[in-house]
Structure 1
Amino acid sequence: MSFLFYTVVGLLAATLGSLVGLGGGIVIVPALIYLGPYFVGQEISVSTAVGTSLAVLIFTAFSSTWAFHKQRKVDFRSGWLYFLTCGPGAMLGSYMTQFVDAKSFQLAFGIFMLVMAILLIIKDRLKPLSLKWPIQRTYTDAEGLVHSYGYGVLPALSIGLLVGIISGLFGIGGGSLFVPAMMILFRYPPHVATATSMFVIFLSSIMGTVTHLSLGEVDGWMVLGLAPSALVGGWLGAKIANALSSKKLMWVLRITFFVVAIRMISEAWK
């Protein structure tokens, strides 16, 4: 039963995470905390759930990045720039996890998911800012359309640091903040934002996991159970993202995030 649980959670989290650039941790962490006692037979601590989730994200993000790379959608130049601060930020956030008690974590994670649900609801109505950034890039899609976008070094580094800290603290990868920021502030095409986000998540997850490992907050058996299906899910999500419209899926994510957010906030207030 525990093996089946890990397989389903890993596959679902990685597929959804890769499809919309979230990384999948936002599914894995609540699943381990709330469903773990029923399917694994033991309580899973917050720190272990976060550390294990971040370790699994290495496999998810690698699989997804490879698939996106073959589709030529990853902007490696800007990805490395984000990583300069996202990587150290992930290590800092991972270190901070040990000082957060379960109730405070549930409240913070619940509020974060509620914000993400709201962002997912309004993101289609948000218009990219018409700013002329010093670094300009172009991307030609499969239909031959040329998309222009740009970014500044300091804003990119600031976003990378914020996302890295949140990534390490919550074990979520950080794509839920990266993708909207890249699209709204820098006018990245959606597929390029998602693909580049997964590349940065892959690198920063390695650094965050190293910190969690040093603190004894990664369950190796859970990683072995989740990682194989996460590899498949990362590849599958990238394939689906390239072929299908994700409007219906986005509504499923919005509702799921909202329900889980309310559950975590209510648990924290008990």
Structure 2
Amino acid sequence: MFILYFIIGLFATTLGSIAGLGGGVIIKPVLDFFGHYDLSTIGILSAATVFSMATVSLIKMRKMDVKLDKLNSALIAAGSILGGFIGKAVFNYFVISLGISKEMGIFQSILLALLLALIFVYFKYKHAMKRFKIENKAIILSIGFVLGLLSSFLGIGGGPLNVAVLSLLFSMNAKNAACNSIFIIFFSQLSALVLAGVTTNIGDYNLMMLPYMIVGGILGGLIGTSFVHKLTDKQIEKIFNVAILAILFINIYNVFSY
């Protein structure tokens, strides 16, 4: 079990740091698939693992020739923190207050599968679509709010949503979108962990596997970031698309398994 959860953390965050997925979008459906933990515990495991990956990735990126759009990414991150608080509050209301964890699991898997399908289609045909360069600060903040709301509610950290939005609305190439996505994920996962610590009793969760997943997340961040500057935009985009397709099928399976 310890080795399994270490490998999940390592694999998810290695892919996540390379393609900007973060890792939560992989960890959440995979842990759903194994069924060892409830949705709330999975959220804590995922957030802590992805946050550890994002921390080491950002430290390594400082020494790399990577273009971070710090102003716009910071605005998106600020909006996503606020949206994340509301998304988590809505999630807690349904899972904890109403006690409909199973129904929420089904809904999360269906909604995530639909979003992943849309993202996959966008990246497959983006060459034929118009892309934008949004500069209005209020709109950027609002975009971050929606991303944070969805990501927190789904418990995925926002990776694929961030990358798609940064590509479509800010005309970023695959490498820059991936790196800016990690920057946003760092703040969104930090806020998710702070919110969990303030609003819930951490002692109620079974976090026995957390240290092993965090170690996997740290190694995944180190390994993944070391590959980023060696890969071309096309290679990163291909990794992103393959990962999205695999996660999509896992979510479809989870819908039926629920």
- The answer to whether TM tops 0.5 is yes
Long gaps (5+) in structure 2: 96-100
Which ranges of structure 1 fall in alignment gaps of 5 or more residues? 37-42, 134-150
Which one-letter code corresponds to 1:246 in the other structure? I
Is the 1:59–1:231 contact (alpha carbons within 8 Å) kept by the matching residues of 2? yes
Normalised TM-score (structure 1)? 0.81
Letter of the structure 2 residue corresponding to residue 182 of structure 1:
L
1:164 to partner: Cα distance: 0.9
Report the 3-state secondary structure (helix = DSSP H, G, I; strand = E; otherwise coil) of the residue aligned with 2:247.
helix
**How far did 1:219 drift?**
4.3
Q: Is this contact kept in 1: 2:132–2:168, CA < 8 A?
A: no
TM-score normalised by length of structure 2: 0.85
Residue 110 of structure 1 pairs with residue 100 of structure 2: no
CA distance in 1, matches of 2:105, 2:201: 18
- Structure 2 vs 1, CA of residues 17 and 113 (structure 1 numbering), >3 Å: closer, same or farther? farther
Indicate whether 1:192 and 2:176 are aligned. Answer: yes
Q: Deviations over 1:164-212 (max 9, x none)?
A: 1122222211121111111111212322221111111101111111222
Quick check: 1:22–1:174 contact (8 Å CA) kept in 2? yes
- Count of paired positions: 244
Report what 1:141 is aligned to: none
Between the aligned partners of 2:26 and 2:133, the Cα distance in structure 1 is: 36
> Does residue 216 of the first structure (1) align with residue 210 of the second (2)?
no
Query: Does the Cα contact within 8 Å between 1:68 and 1:74 map onto a contact in 2?
Result: no
What secondary structure, in the 3-state scheme, does the structure 1 residue paired with 2:89 have? helix
Percent of aligned pairs sharing the same letter = 27
Alpha carbons 2:73, 2:184 under 8 Å: kept: yes
CA contact (8 A) 2:29 2:251 kept: no
Q: Is the Cα contact below 8 Å between 1:106 and 1:267 reproduced in 2?
A: no
- Aligned equivalents of 1:23, 1:215: Cα separation in 2: 24
* Residue 48 (1) aligns with residue 41 (2): yes
- Distance in 2, matches of 1:68 and 1:120, equals 27
Structure 1 segment 1-270 matched on structure 2, within 5 A: 2-36=1-35, 43-71=36-64, 72-98=66-92, 99-100=94-95, 101-127=101-127, 129=130, 131=132, 133=134, 151-213=135-197, 214-216=199-201, 219-244=206-231, 245-246=235-236, 248-268=238-258
CA contact (8 A) 1:129 1:186 kept: no
Contact kept, 8 Å, 1:91 with 1:211, in 2: the verdict is yes
Letter in 1 for 2:253: R
| Residues 22 and 172 in structure 1, CA contact (< 8 A), matched pair in contact too | no
Normalized per residue, which structure has more strand? 1
The one-letter code matched in structure 2 to 1:34 is F
**Alpha-carbon distance in structure 2 between the residues aligned to 1:225 and 1:188:** 34
Q: Give me the whole-angstrom Cα distance separating, in 2, the residues matched to 1:247 and 1:187.
A: 14
Call closer, same or farther: CA 1:96–1:240 in 2, change over 3 Å.
same
| Aligned equivalents of 2:84, 2:133: Cα separation in 1 | 29
Report which of the two has the higher share of helix.
2
> Contact between 2:9 and 2:216, CA under 8 Å: does it hold in 1?
yes
